[in-house]
Chain A
Amino acid sequence: MIKGLLTTLREMFQQPVTIQYPEVKRPVRTRFKGRHVLKRYENGLEKCIGCSLCAAACPADAIFVESAENTDEERYSPGERYASTYEINMLRCIFCGFCEDACPTEAIVLGDNYELSFTDRHQSIYTKDMLLEPVPPGGKPTPQNTEPGKYTRSVPVMQDPQD
C-alpha cells in the first residue's frame, strides 16, 4: 500500500507524456508516409509526366491519372505528356508508398501531412490542384511558354534517393 502510494507520488511530479494536440504537434520522422505531394522542378515545371505507372502500381486502386499532350506554348512538364487530371482517393489510399517507388520521375512523394479529414466522401478525392506543391521561388507557374527543343527528355537523370 505504501509502495503503491509512493509510485503515485513519484509520478505526480513527472512531466506528462501526452501532448496537447492540436495546439502542440508532434514532429514526424523523416521516413514518415503522409499525404502525397506532387513535386515540381526548380523552374516550376511539374515533375509528373502522366505516365500512370503509379496508378498501375497502387494496390488499393486509389489513383486516377489522365494525360494530355504538352506543347511548347503550353508546357506543364518536360517531355511529351503531362497529367491533365490527377486524383487520389484518400479513403482508398493505404499510405503504402508504392506509388512513390513506381514513379519514374520522383514526382509523387508521400509528405508530412497527417491531418486528413472530410465531412463527406466526395471531399476525400484530392485533385491535382490540392496535391501539387507551390511554385518554388524563381520558378514560373504552369503552363509555361518554353523555347522549342529544350525539354524533350521526360525522365531526368537520377541520383540514389535519400530516405
Chain B
Amino acid sequence: MTLEKHGENRFVVPIGPQHPALKEPGHFEFVVDGEIVTGASVRLGYVHRGIEKGAEDRTWTQNLYLMERICGICSHIHATAFVQGVEKLAGVEAPPRARAIREIFAELERIHSHMLWLGVAAHEGGFDALFMYSWRDREVVMDMLEMLSGNRVHYSANLIGGVKYDLTPDMMDKIREGLNYLEERLAHYLDVVNNDETFIGRTRGIGTMTREQAQLLGAVGPTARASNFAYDVRVDAPYAAYAEFPVEMVVAQEGDLHARFVVRILETMESIRVLRRIFENMPESELVTRVPRRIPAGETISRVEAPRGELFYFIASGGGEKPERVKVRTPSLCNWGTVITLAVGHKLADMPMILAGIDPCFSCNDRLVMVKRNRQDPQVWTWADLRNYGIEYYR
C-alpha cells in the first residue's frame, strides 16, 4: 500500500496522521475530482511499539501480559491466541472449565467491542445520539468484566495452562441480568439501524464490497461476513470451548456499510445467546494444569477470531524460558486493502464512515517498520543512540 503517483491536475486531500476524523494516527491520501474520490492510499506505522521484539526479551508468562497490551479493546483475545500457541508447543491442554471461561471472556469482549464500534461508527456518520446510547449501554458489559477480573480493559484472565479467575454462580446471575438488558437494547439499535431514514441514507449502498472482492482483498471478520464471505475461526477451526458451545455464523448478502452494522449487531446478540448456553452447562474442573517453565523447542501457529476478524500468531520456541520469535498479524491489517478499494467512487464525506466500517485498530496493526540500511542516514538510530536520546530528553 504505497503512495501512488498522482496525475498533475488532480487534487489530493491528505488526512492524518493527526486528524479529528481519526481516533488513532494513520495517514490517508484521497485523490478527488470535485467531491468524488478517485483514488486512495494508506500509510501506516505511526504507532509502532516494538512489542514483538520486546517479547523476545521476556519469559513466557511475562509475555502473556505484554501480548494483552497489544490492543486496548481486544486484549483478552490476544492473550488467548498466545497461550493457545504456547500450550500447543508444550503439549498440554487447558482444563474444560478454563476453556469455557476463556470463551466467556472472549464473548463479553466481543459484545463490548462491537458496542464500542457501533458508537464510533454512528458518530462518524453524525449520529451522535446513537453513539451516546450505545456507549452508555456498553458500561453494563464493562462492569461485568470489572466484576470478573477487576479490570475494565486488560483483564489478565489467562494463564499459561488455564485461567486466573473463576466464575461463581452469583456472578453468572448478575451477568445474565445484564445480558437481558443488553439484548433488549440491541434489538432497539437493530431497529434504529434498519429503519432510521437518515441513517439508511448514509449507509445503504455505500462502500459495497462483493464476495469476490472480499476474497481477493483478503478481508476478514465481520467486514468479510457482511459481504457473504462465510468465514469465522470460531466455526471453522474451533478453539477454547467453541467445540462444545458453538456459535452460529452471521452473514449478510449486501456487503455495504449497512450490512456491516447489521452483521455486528446480530453477532453481539449471538454472543449473548452463547453466553447463556455456557452458563447453563458450565463444566466443572480445575482451572489450571501444570506447564513446564521451559517450553519445548518448536514452531506453531495459533488462530482465533478477534472481534475484528481472524487474529494470527506465529510462535517459535528455542526450548528456553523465552520465545525465540513471536509474530502477530492483526485483523485490521487485512482489512485496509478493502478501504482503499471501496473508497473509489464515493463522496469525500463518506470516507470517515467507510474507514470506521472496518472497525480499524491502528496501533495493533503497526507491526513492522522498514528502515533502509544506510549508515549515513540520520534516521537510522542504534540502540545506544536511542537510549542516550531518551536519557537526555527526560533529564
Is the pair A31, B147 in contact by a Cβ cutoff of 8 Å?
Answer: yes
Q: Which of A28, A32, A58, A96 contacts B154 (CB 8 A)?
A: A96
Q: Is B149 an interface residue (CB 8 A)?
A: yes
Q: Which residues of B contact A59 (CB under 8 A)?
A: 58, 62-63, 65-66
Bound CA–CA A33/B151 (angstroms): 7
Closest-by-CB residue of A relative to B143 is: A29
Bound CA–CA A80/B58 (angstroms): 30
Q: Which residues of B contact A116 (CB under 8 A)?
A: none
Bound CA–CA A28/B394 (angstroms): 34
With A17-B139, A31-B165, A59-B58 as contacts: A98 and B65 at CB distance below 8 Å: yes
Bound CA–CA A72/B100 (angstroms): 51
Bound CA–CA A57/B58 (angstroms): 10
Is the pair B165, A94 in contact by a Cβ cutoff of 8 Å?
Answer: no
Q: Is B156 an interface residue (CB 8 A)?
A: yes
With A94-B65, A98-B62 as contacts: A31 and B154 at CB distance below 8 Å: no
Q: How far is the CB of A11 from chain B (nearest CB, A)?
A: 9
Q: Which of B58, B68, B136, B148 contacts A31 (CB 8 A)?
A: B148
Is the pair B58, A97 in contact by a Cβ cutoff of 8 Å?
Answer: no
Q: How far is the CB of A31 from chain B (nearest CB, A)?
A: 3
Closest-by-CB residue of A relative to B147 is: A29
Closest-by-CB residue of A relative to B66 is: A59
With A29-B150, A31-B148, A94-B69 as contacts: A57 and B139 at CB distance below 8 Å: no
Q: Which residues of A contact B302 (CB under 8 A)?
A: none
Q: Is A126 an interface residue (CB 8 A)?
A: no
Q: Which residues of A contact B212 (CB under 8 A)?
A: none
**Residue interface bits A83-100, CB-to-B below 8 A is 1, else 0:** 000000000001111100
Is the pair B61, A95 in contact by a Cβ cutoff of 8 Å?
Answer: no
Q: Which residues of A contact B61 (CB under 8 A)?
A: 57, 98
Bound CA–CA A138/B15 (angstroms): 65
**Residue interface bits B33-69, CB-to-A below 8 A is 1, else 0:** 0000000000000000000000000100111011011
Q: Which residues of A contact B149 (CB under 8 A)?
A: 31
Q: Is A150 an interface residue (CB 8 A)?
A: no
Q: Which residues of A contact B69 (CB under 8 A)?
A: 94
Closest-by-CB residue of A relative to B146 is: A29
Q: Is A25 an interface residue (CB 8 A)?
A: no
Bound CA–CA A124/B216 (angstroms): 50
Q: How far is the CB of A26 from chain B (nearest CB, A)?
A: 10
Q: Which residues of A contact B136 (CB under 8 A)?
A: 17
Is the pair A95, B151 in contact by a Cβ cutoff of 8 Å?
Answer: yes
**Residue interface bits B56-96, CB-to-A below 8 A is 1, else 0:** 00100111011011000000000000000000000000000
Is the pair A121, B146 in contact by a Cβ cutoff of 8 Å?
Answer: no
Is the pair A33, B65 in contact by a Cβ cutoff of 8 Å?
Answer: no
Is the pair A57, B156 in contact by a Cβ cutoff of 8 Å?
Answer: no
Is the pair B151, A32 in contact by a Cβ cutoff of 8 Å?
Answer: yes
Bound CA–CA A39/B24 (angstroms): 40
Bound CA–CA A116/B146 (angstroms): 19
Q: Residues of A at under 8 Å CB distance from B?
A: 17, 28-33, 57-60, 94-98, 121
A-B contact pairs, 6 of them (CB 8 A): A32-B146, A33-B151, A58-B62, A59-B65, A97-B150, A97-B156
A31-B148, A33-B151, A57-B61 known; 20 new pairs, CB 8 Å cut-off, are A17-B136, A17-B139, A28-B146, A31-B146, A31-B147, A31-B165, A32-B146, A33-B150, A33-B156, A57-B62, A59-B66, A95-B151, A95-B154, A96-B68, A96-B154, A96-B156, A97-B150, A98-B61, A98-B65, A121-B394
